Amino acid sequence: MSEFKSTWISLTDALSHASNIIGEEEAWPQVKQAIIDKVLSARGVCDGVLGELNGNWLSILSWDDPENDTLWFNDKRFRLTPNAPSRIERMEVDGNKVRELWEASPSQMQVNMDIPEVDDKGVRPKSKIEIEENFNLWAKEEKQKLGRPINRDEAEKWAMDKGISRDRGRDLYKMLPPNLRRKRGKPPKT
């Protein structure tokens, strides 16, 4: 009796395979387009429920970067049918189709998942969730220390100090609860 082996592979493995064939710069745009065109099937845990990825949802990504097999969607501003979840985790794609689209031997598909990815300093990069949690914690501490909510410039400076883009700092600032954000307008007189 043979053992069942799923043909689904993680999005990270698919991107690794595609980047070995076409280069790292082209891997995500091509894999994304294959999903949009319904050439490559994709699935994941959509807000806690396993489901298929609708290719149209890729047009409303919050960040055009699939980090740790997770995609985030800007579901508040745009409404699609069916509705997009806020995020899809543990993304998987059809491994057989990946091999077919980006031809290579099956041995090139092997990725050692036991070794965590590290940056050039030997530190594991933080996920978007960890960055958001750290940012929210910092914003709360700054509010207590300064006696007022933080402003956008302070958020951008925090992000740049952490090696995160200024635009991402703005995005983090926009996602803060209102009580941690300074209202627009002239600063209060002291």
Q: At what angle do helices 128-146 and 152-161 cross, to 10 degrees?
A: 130
Whose structure tokens read 């995609």?
A: 71
Residue-range domain boundaries for the chain: 8-105, 128-180
C-beta of residue 104 within 8 angstroms of C-beta of residue 13 = no
Residues 1-24 have pLDDT tens digits of 567 677 888 888 888 888 888 888
Cα separation, 72 vs 53, whole angstroms: 12
Cα separation, 62 vs 96, whole angstroms: 29
φ, ψ (nearest 5 deg) of residue 98: -60, -45
117 pLDDT band, cuts 50/70/90, is very low
Q: Specify the pTM.
A: 0.51
Residues 28-85 have pLDDT tens digits of 889 988 888 889 999 988 878 888 888 877 777 777 777 788 887 776 655 666 677 7
184 pLDDT band, cuts 50/70/90, is low
pLDDT at 163 over 60: yes
- Rg (the chain; Cα; Å): 20
C-beta of residue 62 within 8 angstroms of C-beta of residue 72 = yes
